[in-house]
Copies of this chain bind each other. A is one copy, B any other.
Amino acid sequence: MPKNPLKHLYSREALNAQPSAIRDICALVARPQVRSLAGGWPDPAKFPIKEIRRIFDDLMVKHGDQMLQYGSTEGLEDLREVLAERMKAEGQNDAAPENLIITHGSAQGMHLAAQVFIDREDVVIVGLPTYFGGPGAVHSRGGKVVGVPVDRDGLNPNRLVQDIKHLKAAGKRVKGVYVIPNFQNPTGVTLSLERRRQLVHLAETHDLVIFEDDPYADLRFEGKHLPSLKSMDRKGRVIHLRSLSKTFVPGVRLGWAVGESGAIRQMVVAKQFSDAATNTPAQYILLEFIRQGLLDKQIQENINFYRAKRDFMIEQMDRHFPREATWNRPRGGFFIFVELPNNMDAGELFRRAVDKNVAFVTGQPFFVDGSGHNTFRLSYSQVGEDDMAAAIQIIGNLIKDSLAGR
């Protein structure tokens, strides 16, 4: 058989689809001898294995028949109620079971939102840099993404306005903004309160949808929780996407989306033909986990655990990285983003590091305009202290070597 015999029948989006470079890097460096600061996976040491075993067994004895049956497309009603209550407690005053859909991770939430809102050639504005999930979902609909710089306070709204005007003047249909407000992947940066207000206001004045991807919302190590964009939204402009991968467990693939009820209803219809329903046992387990008060406990433990990991990594970086490299101190989440002098290439650093069995993720794949050659992302989420210390020292020495022209 010839290679790709059906290629001439592929859709335009399939022909243009690029596998995630970051996933490919993570797969490449998943060898056991590699000290990896690459993947953004949670540490299994924090998985509530004992509690899940107990809950699953109890539920299966009581009503295994419901646990293993198909569920409704929008998700278990009791779970939607509980999650809506939690969203209300966070300031999303109109959160209700009717405007909340349970999804296979926030990834599916974004995918369904893109199905509802994105037509071919529609433009969505994203951060430079940004996590690839948003752009990937937009591309899967034939849409385009345009990047706007992320600085210390997140996505820059002034640049956003300029870009929207230019794009509209060029005849483009700008549909929305994809934003990760808290401890953004890959920069760890949090969108400031002032900018959150500006962004919600901009959505109204420029007729946009905001895709608020907020998987790290609960993982704040210090400082006050900032209100979500959704909680400031009076016009139904924000689709708020959440995940349990970082605070419960990722393997069960649970997340949810909250939005204006008409839009959520459209996402439910899209899900009917996407995968029909979300895993039922996972939903029952989560519901019981929340009802027993275990999720809040789990979140608090995760905060303490990952805060200590962040502190340790920054300590090591302070010690081993030369002052020519700069980075932020994220107030939550999993990531630290490093900027090297402009004449340095993080790709070259990556290759040298892999030779020494150390891995991270280069920054460039996170920049939709192809910039960021001198940046890279470090994750403290999954690696233990000894490996972290050794890896940071090796990377630090490689940067110093490079600065010295070695």
Contact = CB atoms under 8 A, between A and B. Distances in A.
A305 interface: no
A230 B247 CA distance: 42
Contact of A253 (B52, B249, B277): B277
A6 interface: yes
Interface in A148-177: 175-176
Contacts of A7: 262
Contacts of A68: 44, 47, 49, 52, 249-252
Nearest to A12: B119
Contact of A14 (B70, B117, B122): B117
A386 B27 CA distance: 55
Given A118-B11, A120-B120, A262 B107 contact: no
Q: How large is the interface on A (under 10, 10 to 19, 20 to 34, 35 or more residues)?
A: 35 or more
A273 B107 contact: yes
Contacts of A263: 4, 6
Interface string A29-54: 00000000000011011010100110
A237 interface: yes
A261 to B, nearest CB: 9
Nearest to A19: B269
Interface in A1-38: 1, 3-7, 9-14, 17-20, 23, 27
Nearest to A140: B273
A398 interface: no
Contacts of A49: 60, 64-65, 68
B274 A108 contact: yes
Given A10-B266, A47-B68, A253 B235 contact: no
Given A107-B276, A279-B279, 15 more contacts: A5-B235, A6-B263, A9-B175, A9-B207, A14-B269, A17-B269, A47-B64, A53-B60, A105-B277, A108-B275, A137-B273, A139-B273, A140-B273, A252-B281, A253-B280
23 contacts: A4-B263, A5-B235, A6-B117, A6-B263, A9-B207, A11-B122, A17-B269, A20-B273, A47-B69, A49-B68, A53-B57, A53-B61, A53-B64, A68-B252, A69-B251, A70-B245, A70-B250, A103-B275, A108-B274, A133-B276, A251-B280, A251-B281, A252-B280
